[in-house]
Structure 1
Amino acid sequence: MTAKDLVMTTDSPRPTLVLVYQRASLPWVFEGAERAGIDLVLVPRPDEAVSEDRLPPAVVELLRLDIEADRAGALDALRRRYEQNAFQGVVTLFDPAVPFVAEAAELLGLPGIGRDAALGAQDKRVMRERLAAAGLNVPGFVRLDRPADWAEAARLTFPVVVKPAHGFSSLGVTKADTPQSLKSVVDEVWRTSEGKLGQVDGLVVEEYLDGPEFAVESLAQDGAVRILTIGYKGDPQGPHFEEGVYRAPAALPEAVRDAVLREVTAAHKALGITDGPTHTELRLRGGTTPYLLEMGARIGGSGVSHHVVSGVTGIDFAAQALRLAAGLGAGLPVSDGLPAPVGAAANYIVPCGGHGRVTAIHGLDALRDDPRVDHVVQMLFPGDVVRPYPDFTGYPAFVLSRHEDLAETEEFHRFLERSIRIEYAEVADHGHEGQA
């Protein structure tokens, strides 16, 4: 079913979406729903307390489900809620929830990408296979269904990168420089993923791609893909590929930019993503040839992608994506190329810069009143414990800003590197790990 085929099935004057596992502290999607005239039924994350009397904008109801521990029960609860009071769609910005949301939408006959497309967008093994079958740029790779099979990947050209098949936010992603180190890296990634994700369905080992990293934000409708922004994500060398910056629009030669547009558009078709927002991360091998790292069928960064698209293009990405999820159509004209930029936007991810118990974070409070800054999203506070990777994989804070142009953005990030500092005290083996 496509968005335009949906018939409204409720007497409510406003369409309603079920929003799965969005953190209430991250505002963009809630504000976007308000602007779009859409009510939200929020399924909160199990590890986040959300008060009934202090709901985010546009949220009219809380529906508590545990989609990980009781998937069948959660689907049944959604079905019963739909039968009692119909809603128009189910949506998420949380990558591990994408398959659940696709299954729920399919079960209820609501707009969605379908379970098969969701599998390709969430399982890196399936994604690699489908991109390769479509003739797109794919590094040499091997899928591992158990750690004991590590030797099957020793035939690849080293260095290689080991990834959990269902990982997200660089969780567990680790570089192995030589065949001799591969077994220990595979074992480490398996343990890390098991500890952080609760289970491991398998790994992907793929040849390391040199070259800078970029993110691409897109919105698809009825199979037509509108690419909105391309942003620079740095040039992480490993071994763990922690995220650092996101600056858009990226400065790219015209031929390279066009190659990125072609590759990302073709990837939508290869993965079967015909409707909804996507967040694509890729590397330019040798600085010129785009190779997809992953394509998520969601607004990226729990809403950070909306901030970037809005700041660069003036397009209300969150509102348009939610309208599409509700079957209302996004209303974006389909055209070749990128929209003309109206400004620059960025996300600076504050690095941990050490480990231990946080005693002070300097430089963040002053940024809250900086006219260039839209949001300071703080995840770590004094008293929280940061352990060395892989025991801790979060971030202290995001600083989201808007600027006149890319040069101003780069200068602002250099200022943040100098001005933000975290102090630590040593800790014993036990302590409360900060939550990201």
Structure 2
Amino acid sequence: MDHLIVVGSGGRPYREYAFTSLAPRYRLSALLPAEPTWQRLYLDDWRVVDFADDAAVVDALRSLAGPDSGVLTWDETVLKSTARAAEKLSLRHMSAESAARCRDKYTTRTLLDAAGLPAVRYGLAHSANEAVSIAEGLGFPVVVKPRALAGSVGVVLANDAGEVWDAFGLATGAAFATLPNGHGVLVEEYLDGPEISVDSVVSDGAVTCVHVARKRLGFEPHFEEVGHLLTGWTSEPWADAVRDLVVNAHRALGVELGVTHAELRLTAAGPRLVELNGRLGGDLIPYAGFLATGIDLVVAAAELALGREPDLTPVHDRAAEVRFVYPPYDAVVHRIDLRAAADVPGIEHVAVLAETGSTLLLPPRQAIPRLAALVAVAGDEDGCRAVLDTAVPLVVSEVSGA
């Protein structure tokens, strides 16, 4: 059985599906920041390592890797350290330089501009006054965001100078797991239109766009991702322009290997790239894509790591949608019961996301304060909506004010 080393794991509710997909196909090892708990069921062996110590990551990876091993991470927080270690050990992986370019939104913007791709006007601010000056030059509204975080954390729509000032403070104080915030805050023109994400497979520089998710956003002006719809996209009027932009963005950033997750806005002037992430999509998007098409991007990423071309042949043509459930106010969680919601026909998966006793603060006070996730499968978007509209009211959540 082929050997695959997974670096990092992510949280169980969001990433166990990936281990479930890989474990029957490969012998799995892992590098983890702490002793495994739920991951142990899927692993042959592991090493605990400090991911802030590059030398330790290299040593741990070397101790697990054989001549034909593959290495894979879907964990944003360890993407750069994994890429650097893989490069030192001559293991197949996205290059360290490309991983760093993807992680830094300012570098991404600079390289896209240099490549002549459809422009997003922006500036990098190191003070609130500078952010206001940039915003006034761009024209309101603007989007203010941390330079190097993830999950739309700290991203705010600002309509005037006062809101830019406040947004700068929010962006500089935002945090996501162990990721560094970055040096400076991006101020960008606001892009109109719906937001989508595109998951692609990249093999020796050839980019294949596989899944497109329509993002559901909420909690304005904070761009909280409250759900994702996966359904057919190749016949959409914007499909060719999106494909061209995503392919050219990979070239501009030098991404030649891996499964990636791009985020775009479909503006009146055409698609615009928001960011390109050098790893699998989060928020159960690859799982929903598998339910919708039968294409397993987790397995595709593993096959690339092992030097093989993945099978990207669709076996389904249907829709799958992820919807997240939030508390109605800042709350302490006492109990969550998803049994009735899980019994609704068309609900494929449910997951509790908040532990009993945890405190959830609505955006922007806390990143991703979710109670639960529901995933529906149906023939089309309307079918998914009907299933979820039936199931969500059946979620039992006992909370009290925080």
With the length of structure 2 as denominator, give the TM-score of the two structures: 0.89
1:181 paired to 2:163 = yes
Q: CA deviation at 1:169?
A: 0.8
Assess, with a 3 A threshold, how the Cα gap between structure 1 residues 271 and 370 changes in structure 2: closer, same or farther.
same
The corresponding residue for 1:132 is 113
Q: CA deviation at 1:234?
A: 2.6
The corresponding residue for 1:31 is 20
Maintained 8 Å contact 2:331/2:399 = yes
Residues 342-388 of structure 1 deviation map (CA, whole Å, 9 limit, x = unaligned): 211111111233112123446x2223344523321211144221124
Maintained 8 Å contact 1:349/1:397 = yes
Q: CA deviation at 1:332?
A: 3.9
Q: CA deviation at 1:75?
A: 2.8
The corresponding residue for 1:379 is 353
The corresponding residue for 1:76 is 59
1:165 paired to 2:139 = no
The answer to which structure has the higher strand fraction is 2
* Identical residues among aligned pairs (%): 28
Distance 2:237 2:396 in 1: 40
1:320 paired to 2:300 = yes
396-405 vs 205-214, greater mean Cα deviation: 396-405
Distance 2:293 2:263 in 1: 19
Maintained 8 Å contact 1:345/1:402 = yes
Maintained 8 Å contact 1:30/1:56 = no
Distance 2:89 2:333 in 1: 46
Assess, with a 3 A threshold, how the Cα gap between structure 1 residues 41 and 87 changes in structure 2: closer, same or farther.
farther
The corresponding residue for 1:406 is 381
Q: Greater relative contact order: 1 or 2 (C-alpha under 8 angstroms, separation 6 or more)?
A: 1
The corresponding residue for 1:61 is 45
Maintained 8 Å contact 2:217/2:226 = no
Q: How many residues align?
A: 399
Q: CA deviation at 1:264?
A: 1.4
- Any idea what SS the aligned residue of 1:254 has? coil
1:309 aligned partner, one-letter code: G
Residues 311-359 of structure 1 deviation map (CA, whole Å, 9 limit, x = unaligned): 22222221121111122332447xxxxx685211111111233112123
Q: Could you tell me which runs of 5 or more consecutive residues in structure 1 were left unpaired when the two chains were aligned.
A: 1-12, 334-338, 428-436
The corresponding residue for 1:310 is 290
Q: CA deviation at 1:237?
A: 7.5
Distance 2:255 2:176 in 1: 29
Maintained 8 Å contact 2:332/2:357 = yes
- Any idea what SS the aligned residue of 2:10 has? coil
Maintained 8 Å contact 2:340/2:394 = no
Assess, with a 3 A threshold, how the Cα gap between structure 1 residues 284 and 237 changes in structure 2: closer, same or farther.
farther
Give matches, 1:335-374, under 5 Å.
342-361=317-336, 364-374=338-348
1:17 paired to 2:2 = no
Q: CA deviation at 1:414?
A: 2.5
- Any idea what SS the aligned residue of 2:174 has? helix
1:241 aligned partner, one-letter code: F
Assess, with a 3 A threshold, how the Cα gap between structure 1 residues 135 and 306 changes in structure 2: closer, same or farther.
same
1:368 aligned partner, one-letter code: A
Maintained 8 Å contact 2:342/2:391 = no
Distance 2:232 2:160 in 1: 33
Assess, with a 3 A threshold, how the Cα gap between structure 1 residues 268 and 373 changes in structure 2: closer, same or farther.
same
1:109 aligned partner, one-letter code: S
Residues 151-199 of structure 1 deviation map (CA, whole Å, 9 limit, x = unaligned): 4423222111111111111111112111233222102211223997465
Residues 379-413 of structure 1 deviation map (CA, whole Å, 9 limit, x = unaligned): 11442211243332122222122222222112223
Residues 259-318 of structure 1 deviation map (CA, whole Å, 9 limit, x = unaligned): 2122112212122112211111111113x621111111111116x232122122222221
- Any idea what SS the aligned residue of 1:161 has? strand
With the length of structure 1 as denominator, give the TM-score of the two structures: 0.83
Give matches, 1:292-311, under 5 Å.
292-301=273-282, 304-311=284-291
Maintained 8 Å contact 1:24/1:44 = no
1:115 paired to 2:96 = yes
191-200 vs 233-242, greater mean Cα deviation: 191-200
Distance 1:64 1:169 in 2: 26
Distance 1:226 1:64 in 2: 35
Give matches, 1:89-108, under 5 Å.
89-108=70-89
> What root-mean-square deviation, in Å, do the aligned CA atoms of Structure 1 and Structure 2 show?
2.7
1:276 aligned partner, one-letter code: G
- Any idea what SS the aligned residue of 2:187 has? strand
- Any idea what SS the aligned residue of 1:281 has? strand
Q: CA deviation at 1:252?
A: 8.1
Assess, with a 3 A threshold, how the Cα gap between structure 1 residues 187 and 87 changes in structure 2: closer, same or farther.
farther
- Any idea what SS the aligned residue of 2:279 has? coil
Q: CA deviation at 1:71?
A: 3.4
